[in-house]
Amino acid sequence: MTALEQAQNELSDGMVPMPADYMDDLTPQAGLLLGFEVAKFCLTMVTDAAASLEVPEGEEQPTISEVLNGVSAMVAGACHALVALGVLPQEAEDALEVGTGA
């Protein structure tokens, strides 16, 4: 079983609805806000998972870095879009730049 199939099965077993099942009726603002909240939660998940690996100090972990960077980009991108649409205040994006969260 591939990693994609395993993730799809986990979502199916958990009866997690797919965006196409319910997002057609949402505005772009609501859809982006949902994506932003999911991205923030995912960032916490992958950060916690990375921290639990107990990687020796100084040892590079390129996969972990790529995952954390990718999820961070999801958070930042969604936040930027929400600020541009006026859903979130500019302070939300400014907080990401200084690392204080959104």
The answer to whether 71 and 43 are in contact (CB under 8 A) is yes
Quote the number of domains for the chain: 1
- Domain extent, residue 82, equals 28-98
Model confidence, pTM = 0.83
Residue 2: inside a domain, yes or no? no
Distance CA 79, CA 88 (A): 8
Residue 11: inside a domain, yes or no? no
Residue 74: inside a domain, yes or no? yes
Distances (CA, A) of 42 to 3, 9, 36: 17, 18, 10
Distance CA 52, CA 65 (A): 14
Residue 48: inside a domain, yes or no? yes
Q: Quote the longest CA-to-CA distance of the chain.
A: 48
pLDDT tens track for 59-96 = 778 888 899 999 999 999 999 999 999 999 999 999 98
pLDDT of residue 13 exceeding 60: yes
Long-range CB pairs of 16-23 (<8 Å, 24+ gap) are none
